[in-house]
Chains A and B, each alone.
Chain A
Amino acid sequence: AQSVTQLDSQVPVFEEAPVELRCNYSSSVSVYLFWYVQYPNQGLQLLLKYLSGSTLVKGINGFEAEFNKSQTSFHLRKPSVHISDTAEYFCAVSTANFGNEKLTFGTGTRLTIIP
């Protein structure tokens, strides 16, 4: 079984400042890793994913994440945030096995951008 930990439930950041949202996972098998964003009263939108290859992954809206296998982490970063980045961010994992890619989610981090 897999688990995902997002230690920070809320992160306030000033506009144009950098931000890092932390994600750690636990799994006994190889995993795929994802970050999703959820705007109020909407569904989830995929920001980026790590399947294999380069450990630095770039996604939409200027976000990037780095897969660190030794630390079992997949932290999300953005060098300069904008008001429109205010949302809930979820880290998720699935097993890297073809046949059942159900996602296990963290509890989410609420990012609030301060003007």
Chain B
Amino acid sequence: NAGVMQNPRHLVRRRGQEARLRCSPMKGHSHVYWYRQLPEEGLKFMVYLQKENIIDESGMPKERFSAEFPKEGPSILRIQQVVRGDSAAYFCASSGVEGYEQYFGPGTRLTVT
């Protein structure tokens, strides 16, 4: 009865390093959404993926950020050359074909020093 899994739960990176965040959706779910929560703010949509396809990346910053959801394995959110402003909690959610009920993972808290 595993829910959405994210790892690592906490990640510390120095400015200029790369951050890789992983998300394993609930069993049977093929849709993955990534959201970012900045301190004291609500969650903001970043990207929506299905297996091997990016459906909507309208919320992704144009540079340094990328996401993938391969045929096998977890979805990956990759941030290159991190800056202090990337410090945030990154949440992954998954849903089934219906899409409208999303289940959230515990999040990855990224700290850039």
Contact = CB atoms under 8 A, between A and B. Distances in A.
B93 to A, nearest CB: 8
Interface stretch (B11-19, B40-48, B66-74): B40-48
B27 to A, nearest CB: 17
A74 to B, nearest CB: 15
Interface string A15-47: 000000000000000001000100001111110
Given A32-B100, A105-B42, A100 B55 contact: yes
A100 B91 CA distance: 17
Nearest to A90: B42
A108 B106 CA distance: 17
Contacts of B103: 46
A73 interface: no
Contacts of B59: 102
Interface residues of A, number: 24
Nearest to A110: B40
Task: Pick the most buried of A46, A51, A103, A105: most chain B CB atoms within 10 A of its CB.
Answer: A103
A41 B108 CA distance: 10
A44 B91 contact: yes
Nearest to B106: A43
A86 interface: no
B33 A103 contact: yes
Contacts of B4: 43
A102 B33 contact: yes
A30 B99 CA distance: 15
A46 B43 contact: no
Interface of B: 4, 33, 35, 41-45, 48, 55-56, 59, 91, 93, 95, 98-107, 109
Interface of A: 32, 36, 41-46, 49, 51, 90, 94, 96, 98-108
